[in-house]
Amino acid sequence: MTVFGKKITGAILAGGQNTRFPKTKGFIKIDGVSIIDKNLSLLHSLFDEVLISANNTNLYKTFEVPIIPDALPSRGPLTGIYSCLRICKSDTLFVIACDMPLIDREIVIKLCDCYLSDKPVGALVPVFLGKIHPLIGIYSKEILNRLERAILENKVMLIKFLQEIGAKYLDFSSIIRDKNFFNPFANINTPQDLEELKNSGFSVS
């Protein structure tokens, strides 16, 4: 039995172009486990339904979860969010990018609990040390029409879209930092980002 059952669907956003990195980022191993395996395991423990947003369906077919290609012209993560949100069985979608290796169960549960305990909003995303992290968060089906319009009009800057729909933000800046601290919302965009992980004590392969 999962924590949130059918209330929320989980999805991994894996449809990026990967242009700044020499290999598929979700398959990078951190401390011996690939990022996508770690995040899939996390989502499966929390949600009854789990999806992967990706246009290269063959790349992810071994994971035995539905692979959702873009339903509209591919214009970045907004299209992946829209494509999963329109077909998921619940009214709410939790998303996480395929290149975020350090998100833990506590962060996801806190986001979901906050969303479910408050009045409905179109989206809830975390803020950490003043920076918005829209590639992990919760999106409601009530914004489907606005998502579709934004994509078709190529207005796909995600942070700007969140501002326009009146999204809610949950601040995680109080997370205790010690000598081994590394930003839990960090993602792997470049080889330099991976090097920073190594320098922080993580095993990377």
Give 23-37 pLDDT, tens digit per residue: 789 999 999 999 999
Distance between CA 205 and CA 33 in Å, rounded? 9
Percent of the chain with pLDDT over 70: 94
Q: Which residues, in sequence order, are bridge partners of residue 165?
A: none
pLDDT at 20: 60
pLDDT at 6: 96
**What number is the average pLDDT over the span 176-200?**
80
pLDDT at 180: 55
Domain limits of the chain?
Answer: 9-199
Give 54-75 pLDDT, tens digit per residue: 999 999 999 999 999 999 999 9
Residue 1 has what DSSP assignment? -
Burial class (CB in 10 A: 0-12, 13-18, 19+), 139: buried
Give 83-96 pLDDT, tens digit per residue: 999 999 999 999 99
Give 33-52 pLDDT, tens digit per residue: 999 999 999 999 999 999 99
- State how beta strands 29-30 and 33-34 pair: antiparallel
Q: Which CATH number is 9-199's, of 3.30.365.10, 3.90.550.10, 3.30.360.10, 1.20.120.530?
A: 3.90.550.10
pLDDT at 174: 86
Contacts of 62 (CB under 8 A, 6+ apart): none
**What number is the average pLDDT over the span 123-152?**
97
To the question of pTM greater than 0.75 for the whole model, the response is: yes
Query: Residue 195 above 70 pLDDT?
Result: yes
Confidence of residue 178 (pLDDT cuts 50, 70, 90): low
pLDDT at 1: 85
pLDDT at 17: 60
**What number is the average pLDDT over the span 151-168?**
96
Q: Which residues, in sequence order, are bridge partners of residue 33?
A: 30
The phi and psi torsions of 150 (rounded to 5 degrees) equal: -60, -40
